[in-house]
Structure 1
Amino acid sequence: MIDIKGLLKEKFGYDEFRQGQEEIINHVLHKENVLGIMPTGGGKSICYQLPALLLENLTLVISPLISLMKDQVDALNMMGIPATFINSTITQQEMNKRVQMAVNREVKLLYVAPERLESFDFQQLLLHVPIDLLAVDEAHCISQWGHDFRPSYLRLAAIIEEFQQQPSVIALTATATPQVAEDILDQLHIPKDNQVQTGFARENLSFQVVKDQNRDLFLLEYLKLNQGQSGIVYASTRKEVERIYHLLHSKKVAVGMYHGGMNEGDRNHNQEEFLFDKIQVMVATNAFGMGINKSNVRFVIHAQIPGNIESYYQEAGRAGRDGLPSDAILLYAPQDLQIQQYFIDQSEMTIDYKQKEYMKLREMSQYANAQMCLQKFILRYFGEKGSDCGRCSNCLDERELVDITVDVQKVLSCVKRMGEKFGKGLVGKVLTGSKDQKIDQWHFDRLPTYGLMKDRTQKEVNQLIDYLTAERYLNPSDGQYPLLSVSPIGIQVLLGKQTVFRKEDQRVRKVVVNDGLFETLRELRMDLAQEASVPPYLIFSDSTLKEMCEKLPKSSIQLLQVKGVGQNKLEKYGEKFLAAIESFKLTETKDVTTL
């Protein structure tokens, strides 16, 4: 009987599997194809890394980004697990050497990009390498319905079918709607019963939407309150990335930036500085992050709204991968939607694909306007039911509820009287009594709802319509310019059988309060990381340091009880961390005695 829990502890330092991991691993060990859908930070990598140690032959990992490969391989080698990668950063000679290592069974895992797998020459080389398992990371890239569809991933299925050897397939993703999951199962011939979905909820993330505030001031105040914490600030355009970078830099924030217009050397340098905790904040476009396995990111702030909930949840999920409390904040302004609409308009995709992207963008806008639990809203999008999280800005909003039923009836009645054939903009104009020529053209100035809300601004009425759409009192049609209709629950409101309540901008909160010992251990970690030329979180994650602070281990046996401390790391760093903990306790005791 294979002791997979013993191996989990010995190599990875964990006593127990996370939800779904053991089930997925058992499918792999029984040579069955399997799809794992687990949230970012849910421990997807272990699902193929651990079996790779038990399988006789090679595990080939398809990974989308060079930085992701390097990061994963560095982490594996740090744990004493032989792994390597092949990508465009190495020479042909080095590639041949690494393939030979795989032939000689000197490595257990080999990471490659999907484009590499398409190469005939590389396929010929693989004929000499027995492969037991093929791992497809970021598997949502396979589906044309996914938010990050890549043609090279789409061809994967055909290439796998042509393999002379038929390895088992494990596909893993953090973001898959039911439609995307079905597409992955179909293309990779994974039985539906072998889909393991652990739930999309992230218990340690606090979601927050900030509206109608000066975003620069909020950002600066937040960074001041959370000084010393590591985080990412996302913006939609290169221009905005540079503007925010210069703003933060002028305020003496340790900040870097990353976008596709920079040369590769500068991007790589900034990424390394961030990974090694030499800069605290990275301002970036969505070009940054998929390959970043940095566990101690305490916050992800979106300075502009992203194009869809899948992208948002994946990017926000880069906060708190170590399980400690972290923030995911969206700074929302309605005008930012125009940037995303422009991106969709300029894309070379089909009309059908564009229509779906407009629909996804509308869902993202509804998220920003919702007053229900934000985590619950996201779960609903992924086809999952959930209870209120109790942590997001909506759950923590203590403002009193105001009965807005009469205003809602005005809006719903107006939509009905306009024949449910028009969009938000014109409905808002009718309600505010606009003199727009379209109103004259359609004789909407004769409707009893014309000017019913003329005491409000167009913006206020549009925000109310957005809220009613997010809460599903109104149903939008598909496409770029959705038409509004009243939903069944909206009808109940119109009939006076249901009331509607709404709250009326949240303040900055501190994420984590660090104690003296935690800072001492962080400093030790930084020294060791600099000596080894690796990012600090590869020594130990923040959550491992936190647990050391809580348990105060006195011996190597006690230190092994801390999550994230395996045999390999115990031998390398155990004595130093135990000495630092003991020294801190002695200093603290002296201070108390002096008092």
Structure 2
Amino acid sequence: MPSPTDQRPAALETLRRVFGYDAFRGFQQEVIAHLTAGGDALVLMPTGGGKSLCYQIPALLRDGVAVVVSPLIALMQDQVDALTAVGVRAGFLNSTLDLDARRAVERAFVAGDLDLLYLAPEALGTRGVQQLLDQGNISLFAIDEAHCVSQWGHDFRPDYLTLSVLHERWPGVPRIALTATATSATRAEISTRLQLTSARHFVASFDRPNIQYRIVPKREPKRQLLALLRDEHPGDAGIIYCLSRATVEKTAEFLVDNGIAALPYHAGLDAATRARHQQRFLREDGLVMVATIAFGMGIDKPDVRFVAHLDLPKSVEGYYQETGRAGRDGLPSTAWLAYGLTDVVQQRRLIDTSEGDLAHRRNLAAHLEAMLALCETVRCRRVQLLDYFGETATACGNCDTCLQPPESWDGTIAAQKLLSTVYRLDRERHQRFGTGHCVDILLGRATDKVQQHRHDSLTVFGIGTELSEAEWRGVVRQLLAEGLLAVEGDYGTLALTDTSAEVLGRRRTVMLRREPARTARPAKPRGAATMVAELAPAAAEVFERLRAWRAATAREQGVPAYVIFHDATLRQIASDAPSALADLARVSGVGEAKLAKYGEQVLAVLADGDANPHTA
């Protein structure tokens, strides 16, 4: 096998000819050279960073067929369509194929008539698939979404644990494991479970500078979400994550009622409905998917302009993975999260009632505490996020805490008042109550419930009038986040923790976050409207014509629009206005196959909108 250095000119030529790009990004070329030369690799690269090229180009350079382990059957067709569109011979084997189609793919694999074969991890554990692979010449194994091997991770897939069979049964075939999300501990777990302990590690920056991270206090979350979509992302594709199926359904219905094209996705829907909604999201422009975390892994849609969370994610890894589905094309995108006291109470309760031993619950609690720290930080969100993954950074100037810095204030006295209220209810009256009741006592509200229990006679009654109800709820939320307060039982009653005494005994200072005042200035659109506005008027009109042509072509072929061309490619075409195929070939994202297939049509759209056959 040629050395990595010998492979580099061939890799760059393949990148230009097949995929239409002039240069590699980051350490793509190093990974490709290492894998092409027969080395094993573990690659951590953010979503949209170009992980797939790290195995697709070696698949074209090495003898044989590359076998790709992909976690979602529903996406294999789109992955194969995208490769076929650039002239790569690709196929997949899964339960969606009828017998004749399956046998055709198997014959192509054995004959070496494929460059890449996609399989689900479940398939690799079957005797029939293993025997099939024994009959072919395998160039490499690529294990996508490798974090799924982490047993207590956010996307754990038991079938990934069986992938050690790749090394055991085909020890001479190089392997590459890829993921966008992994701490150093998760990387070690991936290496051990996949027997990649000798593999070379390639770790890119986790930074996604095109994503603006924003976490807002939850007031009326659906109304807040609607304002985000109308003011900043009108007509944009996006994903909204909710914790429960019921919230997914209600949110999707609310958006549709308010004129937003939205679809629900959760495990309670039948498989056919889920597949249909996923296909519509991938193939249609401007659709919003409202989903549980069951949706999104492996989604290659490049023009998702926003990812919103209406409930608190369970971990920073999960949050990063989910928000990373926005802006895969590198264009401006938004990661928006509405976060409130009920989220903390709910997540704490889920941990307390979760299956697993004490070590498992502690692990879940540690993940939640890191997520809460991200929500409550007064630092740059991006700095906090990257620090979690072991990466240092400077303030980004683009997240909410940079654009509108929150204040930190000494909340020790407020914390003592709140904790004293909980103490007196528990120790003096042998009673426990939720947040609302405790806040009523602090504000001196003689509600029926307060009077019924004679809590207006407590020494803490009315001692907290310096703060508003919303501010007191913020104190409760942050004390819960820091573990200075706990929630117990089905009714979310407040209780002291082992560390509460440090605050009550004046041995610990409590610094709290004060949210900046809401501004009345209108939000700046960040999605498709921004992209069009950034173009010259004539180019913007051409861009829209190109998008219309692309949409019609995609419908005819039954493929997602991005399989034809990405938005970034259409923007460059609209700006450069190439008048000949040779000029069009110089546009990023236009390789030989796409030039031959679509070049004349694109030039016709540029020359005259009426010459576009789809608008005739």
TM-score by length of 2: 0.81
User: SS of the counterpart of 2:263?
Assistant: strand
Match of 1:529 among 536, 554, 566: 554
- Aligned partner of residue 38 in structure 2, secondary structure: coil
How many angstroms apart in 1 are the aligned matches of 2:399 and 2:122? Answer: 40
Alignment partners' CA distance in 2, 1:326 and 1:220:
16
Distance 1:465 1:47 in 2: 47
Structure 1 contact 59–109 (Cα < 8 Å) conserved: yes
Q: Deviations over 1:438-491 (max 9, x none)?
A: xxxxxxx99xx9997563367634524755897xxx6779999995759xxxxx
Note if contact 2:78-2:560 (Cα within 8 Å) is conserved in structure 1. no
Q: Structure 2 CA distance, aligned partners of 1:38 and 1:413?
A: 47
What is the aligned partner in structure 2 of residue 216 from structure 1? Answer: 222
Cα pair distance change 1:333/1:468, threshold 3 Å: closer
Task: Tell me which residue corresponds to 1:121.
Answer: 128
Measure, in 1, the Cα distance between the counterparts of 2:111 and 2:43. 30
Shift of 1:563: 1.8
Report the 3-state secondary structure (helix = DSSP H, G, I; strand = E; otherwise coil) of the residue aligned with 1:123.
helix
Q: Aligned ranges for residues 232-381 of structure 1 at < 5 Å?
A: 232-277=239-284, 280-341=287-348, 343-344=350-351, 347-381=354-388
Which residue of structure 2 aligns with residue 229 of structure 1?
A: 236
**Structure 1 residue aligned with 2:398:** 391
Tell me whether 1:583 sits opposite 2:583 in the alignment: no
Task: Please tell me whether residue 88 in structure 1 is matched to residue 95 in structure 2.
Answer: yes
| Higher deviation after alignment, 263-272 or 362-371 | 362-371
* 8 Å CA contact retained: 1:131, 1:165: no
CA distance in 2, matches of 1:201, 1:483: 36
User: Residue in 2 aligned with 1:404?
Assistant: 409
Aligned 8 A contact 2:215 2:400 in 1: yes
Is 1:72 aligned with 2:79?
A: yes
Label 1:484 to 1:330 Cα distance change in 2 as closer, same or farther (>3 A): farther
Do the aligned partners of residues 410 and 274 (structure 1) sit closer, same or farther apart at CA in structure 2, a change above 3 Å counting? closer
User: Whole-Å Cα distance in 2 between the matches of residues 482 and 371 of structure 1?
Assistant: 25
Indicate the residue corresponding to 2:594 in structure 1: 569
Residues in 1 aligned to 2:122 and 2:33: alpha-carbon distance in whole angstroms: 29
How far does the alpha carbon of each residue in 1:337-396 deviate from its partner, in whole angstroms, 9 at most, with x for none?
A: 444455545654443223211221232233222232112221111121111121111111
- Shift, 1:94, TM fit: 3.5
Give the AA of the match of 2:409.
I
- Of 571, 577, 600, the residue aligned with 1:552 is 577
Contact 1:415–1:484 (Cα < 8 Å) also in 2: no
Counterpart of 1:149 (choices 156, 159, 164) is: 156
From 157, 162, 173, the equivalent of 1:167 is 173
Describe the shift of the 1:194–1:453 C-alpha distance in structure 2 as closer, same or farther (beyond 3 A).
farther
- What SS does the corresponding residue of 1:101 show, helix, strand or coil? helix
d(CA) in 2 for partners of 1:362 and 1:495?
19
Using the alignment, how far apart are the partners of 1:267 and 1:430 within structure 2? Answer: 43
Q: 1:475 to 1:215 in 2, by over 3 A?
A: closer
Alignment of 1:172-191 (within 5 A): 172-191=178-197
Aligned length: 564
Comparing 107-116 and 504-513, the one that deviates more: 504-513
Distance 2:168 2:198 in 1: 23
Counterpart in 2 of 1:592?
A: none
Cα offset for 1:196? 0.7
The answer as to whether partners of 1:521 and 1:545 remain within 8 angstroms in 2 is yes
- Matched residue SS, 1:24: helix
CA distance in 2, matches of 1:258, 1:433: 42
Q: 1:551 to 1:371 in 2, by over 3 A?
A: farther
Mapped to 2, the partners of 1:482 and 1:82 lie a distance apart of: 62
- The separation in 2 between residues aligned to 1:467 and 1:388, in whole angstroms, is 23
| Residues 302 and 329, structure 2, Cα contact 8 Å, conserved in 1 | yes
* Cα distance change of structure 1 residues 108 and 201 upon mapping to structure 2, 3 Å threshold: same
1:593 maps to which residue? Answer: none
Q: Structure 1 555/371 Cα, relative in aligned 2: closer, same or farther at 3 Å?
A: farther
Root mean square deviation of aligned Cα:
3.8
Paired residue type of 1:181:
R
- The DSSP-based 3-state class of the residue aligned with 1:231 is strand
**Corresponding position: 1:33 with 2:33:** no
TM-score, normalised on structure 1? 0.84
Instruction: Quickly say closer, same or farther: Cα 1:254–1:479, change in 2 above 3 A.
Output: closer
267-276 or 42-51: bigger deviation:
267-276
Q: Measured at CA, do residues 352 and 554 of structure 1 come closer, stay the same or move farther in structure 2, by a change above 3 Å?
A: same
Alignment check: 8 A CA contact 2:241 2:308 kept: yes
Q: Sequence identity of aligned pairs in percent?
A: 36
Counterpart in the other structure of 1:112: 119
The residue identity in structure 1 corresponding to 2:202 is V
Contact 2:40–2:199 (CA under 8 A) maintained in structure 1: no
User: C-alpha distance in 2, partners of 1:120/1:478?
Assistant: 51
Q: Distance in 2 between matches of 1:359 and 1:459?
A: 27
Distance 1:477 1:229, change over 3 A: same
The superposition leaves residues 168-204 of structure 1 with CA deviations (integer Å, 9 ceiling, x where unpaired) of 1100000001100111122333357711111111011
Provide Cα deviations, 1:134-189, integer angstroms capped at 9, x if missing partner. 111100111224222222111212x1243045311100000001100111122333
Are 2:466 and 1:455 equivalent residues in the alignment?
yes
Distance 1:262 1:350 in 2: 31
Instruction: Tell me the secondary structure at the aligned position of residue 335 of structure 1.
Output: helix
Residues 479 and 485 in structure 2, CA contact (< 8 A), matched pair in contact too:
no
- Shift of residue 242 of structure 1? 0.9
Alpha-carbon distance change, 258 to 554 in structure 1, aligned in 2, over 3 angstroms: same
Alpha-carbon distance change, 467 to 379 in structure 1, aligned in 2, over 3 angstroms = farther
Contact 2:45 2:203 in 1 (8 A): yes
Residues 245 and 122 (structure 1 numbering): CA distance in 2 closer, same or farther, change over 3 Å? Answer: same
Give the 3-state SS of the residue equivalent to 2:608 in structure 1: helix
C-alpha distance in 2, partners of 1:25/1:10? 16
Q: Decide whether aligned partners of structure 1 residues 382 and 319 sit closer, same or farther in structure 2, where only a CA change above 3 A counts.
A: same
Which residue identity is paired with 1:516? Answer: E
Give the match for residue 441 of structure 1: none
